A and B are shown apart, each in its own frame.
Chain A
């Protein structure tokens, strides 16, 4: 098994599941508020800022992946989440991160890949 940490697995019945626009992890909005995004908190700064959560996560996603072993899993690799925490991820997330995040990514030289499968290469 991987050594990767596990994100909080949201309860199945939750109606407030949201997916991170950057890493596509699925959490409840309250989890995002209390702990932020386990993968990209550093750049998104979601914790305790509901506005940020609204801007950087969305409830509009399709497909749920239970990533149990991100390092080994091809699914994880394909979704580019191999390095992330274990947990629930969305296959496709609609929307793009806010512009400031995009700018930040750019300044760091990170290629932003939207999770909405709009650009495939």
Chain B
């Protein structure tokens, strides 16, 4: 059946082209998808289909016509009744309608009558007409009289249900619902929804009118894109009407409005509306054409050329020609005279189907292919429209001042935008409404309502609510403003003029505010912007001056041979200064590539003095005009582009030869002033940048370090501790002598800072000097840190070949290296070093430089030889002792080398085949160093020139151990040692070199090398002819904290001394004995304190005292317990087995003691783990601290 029906249908439709389909009621019942498809196919214009159907026409037509006609008749009647009903229903209410209704009736009757009078043909014709128009019941608009408010929904109406759907599919789904309902209308389960609709402004939802939500979900099931699972929400009855009345803010298109094109070659281009078609569907636009003036296929025939250059060629949109006003001559030249036809008078042309008038293209465009909102035309774009073509065809750039643009139009177009840009705090003025003229500060914005605090005589301080669109930002000359958006965004400047756009146009148009002209802080040029784009701002902007991917001061390649620097950006072009000093106007497409900034940074050039030039350096020409400037770019190491904003020419950019420059910064002179600076750079042989002058030789032999490829400071995190950048954190990027170039973490800025002004920043957040203080002090003797530089293990230069690679200058070779990472301590002699650097495993001892310990103490006759050297080395060299392989050799004078504590250590290691080469070499070096230092300081025999000293040493070493090789290298470095000495200035010992000097004499000839080691000398004393080389033991300031004594901390007797001279605590506690309650090591940078109990005038008092004022009390009577404070047995508990001299001066007296082996201590291997007594030996009195 449906087949027949279908054919009938189609047949009917094609039977007579003029026939409108009848009301489709008839076949609606069988309305099937098939039919739908048919319709669609037909609409798609399938001619084939039509002809196919036509074949079957006769039969189906017959059947169908019969059926339809009869039915239509009835229907007509029905309809008429219906209409009449309507009239009757409304008759009472609507007076004016009667006439119309009457007419309608008359018309109808007339039609009928005339039909009756006609001839048969006419009648037939009439019938057909009637048939055609039969359905055309009069348009009555019967509902139009009812006021909308009477149409509001009532409770009797079906509800509206909101259904979530896939965004973008709303319309499709509404269509589907319609079709579905028609399909199912006469099935057993028709859709019982009344309507469904969608609004463009409500994406992702459709609304269905139905009696219940179940009906809605029934209707929606099976439709793709409907999210029934997200619920069906009832729309409250009072919101129903709103759904149908909401509308997007009306975008009125009026003549003169600015719009933007959405698609095609002109996408995004600004256009001006010149006229509007009657139904507002299309608008006539005027905009700047983009005619391809470089047709690609030039050689071909004109036709083809035209095509290639066709303005409508969508494929060519990728490289769309620039905006340019239509120029008849140019176009004719390229496209031939035939391509352009001239219309009428003036400059009206038709080219490729488009009309060009006054240089602009005028085109009718569909309303939906233009953008009406958020146009925000820029002044530049608008000025383009203000250009006119001169008769000669050249364009005449119209500036703003020409007043050719009606700014009010722009202002209008930006009216909406103005709402968005207001912020609390803005100064605004009211330009319309009854408050017009009031100005004040925006307090609050809620929606479209502003609250402002008015200022002015009468209403000062009052708060006024205003519609946001009736205010505009207000600026006055003198304000400092910043551009918030647009091309000039980021520019700041001083307002010099405010021109009110409304001045010469209707007040209604002035919404966006006037044009503010300000003097840019950057370019010192006047910039005009809309006031809506401005804010008052105190800061000075660093406008970006970016055009496309090019930025002001970029280095760009113009061609293979030419580079240039952009010194000015214009609307669509740049001014570029090339390397030959010529200035050119360049368009972006003429730029080959932009040199990556990094590339440029890599370029190296040297100035006239041979110093390196870097980007950003301040340089000056040595000859010529002596122009100064900051280096922007270096090209091929030869050309330098500099910038100086004081130079007016070329935007302050100039190019010059790099060789003709000299630094204006004091860099060069600094280098000269500070001796020893920048050795790294200037002399690869001195690599490692030995910091002390004396250390210069330190690198000899260390081939690996020879190049010193990198300053070890590079990459170090530092904090600036002085100067204008104080507090800034950065990373050392490079060093140049005393100067470090630090890249600050903030601002991405590289500054040159004196090294002394930066501190290394440790991961734990603490800071410490970047390197020993000595590093920067030229005076080797004065520098505390210089010791650290001791070739043996000092700074980079000083690295002993053996372990130089190990890293940080300051690091001790010490295998136990506690705190070896504290490079910052480098300055300290290993021995000295608070221990960390000391090879001494018990490092706390470090303070005791072997050197100073060593002194001239008489070798301990009782001690086994092996040990002795050990202590000589000052705790530090303890290690060797236990193994004391060398002891014997030590004792022998010849073996001096071996006896050096350091050496002994060496020896030890050697024998142990510990592979000590590596660091073994270092250790002795250090101790040796220390010794040397002291010697030197003493000045006596030692003073005679480092070279002498140096020489012997290696020799002595040479004999000593296989490690000598390693040793030799460090030796020369010993030159630096002197410095090492200095670090301890604080110690009383400072002045103590003398003791060393004593031995010197003995020393002099034979074992110079040996001598050095103080530790050694102790042992050697014997060999030296019994000279009393003993020295007073001065515990280091933090002796108390030595872990060796931890067990006795509270029992050790201490006395407070030396406070008077420092006036510490007014010397109140001077010479009082105290009991230590607690002490723990504070951070290295702080003074160590201990909590002690002290009795002052009968009152006991607990207080903290700096440990440096706490001194051990030497044992004074037999059988007294004591702890050994230094030496190889440091930390051992002993008992005096001999009554010591009571003479206070006899602190160096040797006393027989017996080791007390405590439980668990098995140091010597001799211990059985039981508490008991150990061997007897002899100990210097002041090496012991009495225990309670």
Contacts and interface: CB of A to CB of B under 8 A. Distances in A.
Given A12-B172, A12-B175, A62-B201, A31 B141 contact: no
Nearest to A71: B194
A66 B281 contact: no
Given A86-B182, A98-B279, 12 more contacts: A1-B185, A3-B78, A6-B182, A58-B280, A63-B199, A66-B177, A68-B195, A72-B158, A74-B157, A91-B199, A108-B100, A117-B245
Interface in B135-176: 135-149, 151-153, 157-158, 160, 170-172, 174-176
18 contacts: A6-B182, A9-B175, A9-B178, A22-B139, A42-B133, A64-B174, A64-B197, A66-B175, A76-B194, A78-B153, A86-B178, A92-B247, A95-B279, A98-B278, A110-B141, A110-B144, A111-B141, A120-B245
Interface in A18-47: 21-22, 28, 30-31, 34-36, 38-44, 47
Interface stretch (B22-30, B507-515, B987-995): B22-30
Contacts of A92: 247
A51 to B, nearest CB: 11
A72 to B, nearest CB: 5
Contact of A5 (B24, B194, B198): B24
B750 interface: no
A78 B133 contact: no
Given A60-B280, A60-B367, A63-B200, A28 B43 contact: yes
Quick one: which of B40, B136, B181, B182 has the most chain A CB within 10 A? B136
A83 B138 CA distance: 12
Nearest to A82: B143
Given A64-B174, A87-B178, A121-B147, A94 B23 contact: no
Contacts of B657: none
Interface string A69-88: 11011111111111101111
Contacts of B198: 63-65
A26 to B, nearest CB: 9
B240 interface: yes
Interface string B13-46: 0000010110111001001000010011001010
B201 A109 contact: no
Contact of B25 (A3, A44, A48, A62): A3
B248 interface: yes
Contacts of A88: 174-175, 178
A12 to B, nearest CB: 4
Nearest to A108: B100
Contact of A62 (B140, B172, B247): B247
B196 A68 contact: yes
B1137 interface: no
Nearest to B193: A68
Q: Which of B18, B20, B99 has the most CB of A within 10 A?
A: B20
B62 to A, nearest CB: 22
A110 B96 CA distance: 9
Interface string B264-282: 0000000000000011110
Interface of A: 1, 3, 5-6, 8-12, 14, 21-22, 28, 30-31, 34-36, 38-44, 47-48, 54-60, 62-70, 72-83, 85-88, 91-92, 94-96, 98, 105, 108-113, 117, 120-121
Nearest to A98: B278
Contacts, number: 205
Contacts of A79: 244
A21 B277 CA distance: 14
B367 A109 contact: no
B191 interface: yes
Interface centre among A68, A80, A96 (most CB of B within 10 A): A68
Nearest to B36: A9
A71 to B, nearest CB: 9
Of B179, B185, B195, most buried by chain A (CB within 10 Å of CB) is: B195
B959 interface: no
A93 to B, nearest CB: 10
Contacts of A62: 199-201, 247-248
Interface string B631-665: 00000000000000000000000000000000000
A80 to B, nearest CB: 4
Nearest to A42: B136
A62 B251 CA distance: 13
Contact of B190 (A1, A40, A77, A111): A1
B201 to A, nearest CB: 7
B368 interface: yes
Size range of the chain B interface in the assembly: 35 or more
A112 B141 contact: yes
Nearest to B43: A30
B174 A65 contact: yes
A29 to B, nearest CB: 10
A45 to B, nearest CB: 9
B197 A42 contact: no
Contacts of B278: 55, 98
Contacts of B100: 108-110
A64 B171 contact: yes
A74 B153 contact: yes
Nearest to B159: A74
Interface of B: 18, 20-21, 23-25, 28, 31, 36, 39-40, 43, 45, 78, 82, 86, 96-97, 99-100, 103, 133, 135-149, 151-153, 157-158, 160, 170-172, 174-179, 181-182, 185, 190-191, 193-201, 209, 240-241, 244-245, 247-248, 278-281, 366-368
Given A1-B190, A66-B177, A66-B195, A74 B142 contact: no
B86 A83 contact: yes
Contact of B138 (A14, A30, A42): A42
B143 A5 contact: no
A25 to B, nearest CB: 12
Contacts of A69: 193-195
Contacts of B24: 5-6
A68 B177 CA distance: 9
Contact of B158 (A60, A74, A112): A74
A73 B244 contact: no
A28 to B, nearest CB: 6
B503 to A, nearest CB: 32
Given A9-B175, A48-B18, A73 B279 contact: no
A108 to B, nearest CB: 5
Contact of A80 (B20, B43, B144, B195): B144
Contacts of B135: 38, 41
Contacts of B181: 66, 68
Given A59-B281, A76-B194, A12 B176 contact: yes
B209 A73 contact: yes
Nearest to B143: A80
A77 B244 CA distance: 12
A43 B133 CA distance: 11
Given A47-B20, A68-B178, A63 B244 contact: yes
A65 B197 contact: yes
Contacts of A47: 20
Contacts of B281: 54, 58-60, 95
A42 B185 CA distance: 28
Contacts of B31: 6
Q: Which of B31, B178, B182 is the most central at the interface, judged by chain A CB atoms within 10 Å of its CB? A: B178
Given A54-B281, A68-B193, A68-B196, A9 B182 contact: yes
Contacts of B248: 62
The interface centre, meaning the residue of B135, B144, B175, B366 with most chain A CB atoms within 10 A of its CB, is B175
A44 B141 CA distance: 13
A31 B197 contact: no
A38 B141 CA distance: 14
A54 B198 CA distance: 25
Contacts of B43: 10-11, 14, 28, 30-31
Contacts of A35: 20-21
A41 B136 contact: yes
B367 A74 contact: no
Nearest to B367: A60
